Homo-oligomer: A and B are copies of this chain.
Amino acid sequence: MAQPKEKYHHGNLRQALINAGQQLLIEKGIHCLSLRETAKAAGVSHTAPYRHFKDKDMLLAAIAESGFEQLAEALQNAAESCADDPEKQLTEAAVTYVKLAITHIEMHQLMFGNILNEDSMSESVLEKKQRVFDTLFKIIENGQKQNIYIEAETLELAVAAWSLMHGYALLISSGQLREAATSLMQIETLARAVTTHLMVGLVKSEKFAEEV
């Protein structure tokens, strides 16, 4: 009785394939994740997945779905842990984003590495992906309401913040910043520094005082 979806020989082959695929992704990397091996790991023939996914991309998107969910939730938690301090909210969100990205490099690459085609994402995947950006957007919006952030377009500020943390995470995870930061602690410290630079700006404020 338990679950309503008792099937052929799996309780739920769809979910079993997603789990097996996620496991393989973590263990062997995105470029060694094959449909055939995923099916084998789930104990079915290599054509069985086609009962549940139109093609390989659809399986990958389904695997990424839980990643988007997890990321949105982590950002949400980070934001809620310091709801009274918008600046800290943004810093913590950035650190959370970067940490999650580099501790789940393969998953992050699947999610944001241009591997998934937007067309091969179901509505529920797109919705979860959107939630990631929405969380960030709300942090900025909140900071503007509390009169901490400048009154520019919220979207512009959110894109700036997202670009910064996303770019930083990718530069780290692709090894481009190996000379600047290697240990997890250095990476986090640099992440905080970089986020602060965005909040405070690169240009000397005295200069603006002069100009204005």
Within 8 A of B (CB), among A153-175: 153, 155-157, 159-168, 170-171, 173-175
Consensus secondary structure, chain A interface:
helix
The answer to whether A148 touches B207, judged by C-beta atoms less than 8 angstroms apart, is yes
The answer to whether B194 touches A159, judged by C-beta atoms less than 8 angstroms apart, is yes
Q: Which residues of B contact A185 (CB under 8 A)?
A: none
The answer to whether A164 touches B204, judged by C-beta atoms less than 8 angstroms apart, is no
Distance between Cα atoms of A114 and B31 in the complex (Å): 11
Interface size on A, residues (CB 8 A): 51
Residue of B nearest to A149 (CB): B202
The answer to whether A149 touches B180, judged by C-beta atoms less than 8 angstroms apart, is no
Min CB–CB distance A78 → chain B (angstroms): 17
Q: A160-B197, A166-B171 are in contact. Are A147 and B204 (CB under 8 A)?
A: yes
A193 contacts the other chain (CB 8 A) = yes
